[in-house]
Amino acid sequence: MQRRRNDPPLRRSLRPRGPVQFGLSKHRKARLSILEVAGELDILTAPTLAAELHTIVRKSRGDLVIDLRQAVFIDSAGLYVLLNVHRRLDRAGRNLAVVCDDGPVRHVIELARLTETLGVVSSIEQLTSSKGREMVGFAYQSWNGSDGS
């Protein structure tokens, strides 16, 4: 496929304009680690996320939720980091869920056919529903300290 002279560069249509925006915030709830990602998850920011996830996986023993609702962009480097942490947690008998509402980040995850693999849900509340627990494999007690009754 030939590009026309008037076509804007592809990079402008893929990532948001301006400087790279990226932020992480983490907290724990019972035996559950929650990492919120804001901004762009790409080749420039993926190493920072990977390092933080490495620390969380190494130091905590519970399941992990990665909240991407504030993320505006993800590329293959970001997907690689998510798949890598999923693999590490799976080998340790732990679970991963990715919270991601509709938008460009969810669209990329769906295009890569990773929705089920990464345990993608639309909201944290969905993890507390019986369907969400079944879909992602989370133990309810990890979320709220109860036995799910």
The reply to whether 108 falls in a domain is: yes
Question: Which residue range forms the structural domain that includes residue 83?
Answer: 21-136
Q: Which pLDDT belongs to residue 148? A: 41
Is 123 domain-assigned?
yes
* Confidence (pLDDT) at 124: 82
Phi, psi of 33 (to 5 degrees): -95, 135
Q: What is the pTM of this model?
A: 0.79
Percent of the chain having pLDDT more than 90? 63
Using DSSP's 3-state secondary structure scheme, residue 4 falls into coil
Closest to 62 (Cα-Cα) out of 35, 39, 90, 30: 30
Q: Domain total for the chain? A: 1
For residue range 21-61, list pLDDT tens digits in order.
899 999 988 888 999 999 999 999 999 999 999 999 999 98
Confidence of residue 111 (pLDDT cuts 50, 70, 90): very high
Q: DSSP secondary-structure letter at 1?
A: -
Q: Quick check: is 91 in a domain?
A: yes
Lookup: tokens for 135: 């879909």
Question: Quick check: is 141 in a domain?
Answer: no
CATH number of the domain to which 101 belongs: 3.30.750.24
Q: How far apart are CA 37 and CA 40, in angstroms?
A: 8
Please report the pLDDT score of residue 127 as a whole number.
78
